[in-house]
Amino acid sequence: MNSKHILKSVLAVAFIAGLSSCKPELKDVTPTNGQADFSRYIAIGNSLTSGYADNGLYLEGQKNSYPEMLAAQMKNVGGGNFSTPFFTEAHANGSGYAKLLGLNANGTPNIGAETSNLAVRGQVAIPGFGNVVLYDKYSGDLNNYGVPGIKLAHVNLAAYGNLNGYYERLLPGNAGTNSTTYLDFVMAKPYTFFSMWLGNNDILGYASSGGVGDIPTPKADFAALYAATVNRLVGSKAKGVVATIPDVTTTPYFRTVTLATLLATIRATAAGASVTTLYIQTGAGTRAATAADLFTLTLSSAGVMGVPNGAGLPYGLHPLNPIENKYVLDATEVATVNDFTAAYNATITSVASANGLALMDANTLLKQYNTPTQVNGAVVSSAYITGNLFSLDGIHLTPMGYAITANAFIKAINTKYGSSIPIVDVTKYRGVKFPLNNN
């Protein structure tokens, strides 16, 4: 053995050490489009599609809509440009929205409203309908056709562009002069792939107003209209994905304020220490509330509980001054909501199947979070504020919630069309934003 051998040995070790610059290699993935063509994707839907959150439509929500996420991922498999009718930076707060100001001493949220930098351009009175708030017009390219408030029942309504400010802003004409139906509008330009998440509002208005503010779209009408709408959208060759309607009765909107929390609050006061019964107004008259009756989130912020009326009877505590129907989805109404939701979803499922479309079962997806479930280590649940899934309005989703739905859409599309659109990273999206200081 001489120094030459030593040198060789040292070199051999150095060579192995040189490998240390190598990273571990994972097997390559090549996203493919399968049997679908994503070159022009359009998103049809309501508030959930627009990115509505925290009781408002604003720029951050629009940027975190599930169609934006889907379209970004579709770019890996031949997807083209995707345009959402964004509000401008100067008017980034759009319609205005709810924001968390802090938590009160008893843990209940203190919620305020963002009212600066709005994109509200005015208001117009539509004869026979009422006032419609108007927003900044948008005239650029359009792929995300999400219109807050729209029902399936509205898609063929020629006057709808005059009744909904969020739709009006997408149309060239001013409120009162529009006559383009929503379905004609979205179909005006060719597309290769569509998503449609419609139908929520056909029951939501009834539910969120405690069964008094709206009438559910009749099931048969819904079935016929859904089939006809999908039929038109599919046309000769377009592919797409449709989604079922989440059960709104399990959202924080109906599960945060409960008989138990209301009673606890009242019993915590000196005057209410002995209260055991709350009274509610229902379609069938006034009666004592039970745990099967659901209260709206708006009841807590209304500040009406226990307030005496003219006769000195405290609100909600006396049969002659019951909690108004608009704050209560009583057990019978809950059953109605569930019945309609189930019927709508049966329609959606069968129409999807009949047309060979992918189906994203949003109802099943969101329901699983009624039991807190970890998503990449983050606990996600239907709990209000801390659950990360629902935004401050208790019905619409947080960016994280929308990311979870985006992945469910992606999985449904991939399964149906043999594509491999990559999923989004759910943990990159936020839950409910807390304020800087404790107020």
Residue 241: left if φ>0, alpha if ψ -120 to 50, beta else—which one? beta
Does residue 102 contact residue 110 with C-beta atoms inside 8 Å?
A: yes
Distance, CA of 46 to CA of 243 (rounded, Å) = 12
**Binder to other proteins among 61, 94, 146, 431 (CB under 8 A)?**
431
Using CB under 8 A as the binding rule, whether residue 9 contacts other proteins is answered as yes
Using CB under 8 A as the binding rule, whether residue 422 contacts other proteins is answered as yes
Closest contact distance (angstroms) between CB of 358 and other proteins is 15
Closest contact distance (angstroms) between CB of 113 and other proteins is 17
Distance, CA of 319 to CA of 309 (rounded, Å) = 12
Using CB under 8 A as the binding rule, whether residue 264 contacts other proteins is answered as no
Closest contact distance (angstroms) between CB of 190 and other proteins is 28
Give burial (CB, 10 Å; 0-12/13-18/19+) of 206. buried
Closest contact distance (angstroms) between CB of 399 and other proteins is 9
Using CB under 8 A as the binding rule, whether residue 313 contacts other proteins is answered as no
For the segment 66-105, give every residue that binds other proteins (CB under 8 A).
Answer: 76, 102-103
User: Within a 10 A sphere around the Cβ of 406, how many other Cβ atoms?
Assistant: 26
Does residue 109 contact residue 13 with C-beta atoms inside 8 Å?
A: no
Closest contact distance (angstroms) between CB of 365 and other proteins is 14
Instruction: Draw the binding track, 102-131, toward other proteins (x: CB under 8 A; -: no contact).
Output: xx----------------------------
With contacts defined by CB under 8 A, name the span among 9-17, 135-143, 198-206, 353-361 that binds other proteins.
9-17
The one-letter code for the residue type at 407 is N
Distance, CA of 217 to CA of 157 (rounded, Å) = 14
With contacts defined by CB under 8 A, name the span among 184-192, 194-202, 291-299, 417-425 that binds other proteins.
417-425
User: Within a 10 A sphere around the Cβ of 213, how many other Cβ atoms?
Assistant: 12
Total residues at interface with other proteins (CB under 8 A):
52
Instruction: Draw the binding track, 16-55, toward other proteins (x: CB under 8 A; -: no contact).
Output: xx-xx-xxxxxx-x-x------------------------
The one-letter code for the residue type at 47 is S
> What backbone phi and psi angles, to 5 degrees, belong to 208?
-70, -15
Using CB under 8 A as the binding rule, whether residue 314 contacts other proteins is answered as no
Closest contact distance (angstroms) between CB of 68 and other proteins is 17
Instruction: Draw the binding track, 202-241, toward other proteins (x: CB under 8 A; -: no contact).
Output: ----------------------------------------
Does residue 41 contact residue 191 with C-beta atoms inside 8 Å?
A: yes
Which of 352, 432, 424, 422 minimizes the C-alpha distance to 398? 432
**What pairs with residue 374 in β-bridges?**
379
With contacts defined by CB under 8 A, name the span among 6-14, 49-57, 132-140, 277-285 that binds other proteins.
6-14
Q: Nearer to other proteins by C-beta: 12 or 220? A: 12
> What backbone phi and psi angles, to 5 degrees, belong to 47?
-55, -40
Distance, CA of 396 to CA of 59 (rounded, Å) = 15
Using CB under 8 A as the binding rule, whether residue 425 contacts other proteins is answered as yes
Distance, CA of 97 to CA of 174 (rounded, Å) = 25
The torsion angle over the Cα atoms of residues 115, 118, 122 and 125, rounded to 10 degrees, is: -60
**Binder to other proteins among 291, 311, 320, 436 (CB under 8 A)?**
436
Distance, CA of 171 to CA of 364 (rounded, Å) = 35
Using CB under 8 A as the binding rule, whether residue 407 contacts other proteins is answered as yes
**Binding residues vs other proteins (CB under 8 A):** 1, 5-6, 9-10, 12-13, 16-17, 19-20, 22-27, 29, 31, 76, 102-103, 373-380, 386, 388, 407, 410-411, 414, 422-423, 425-428, 430-439
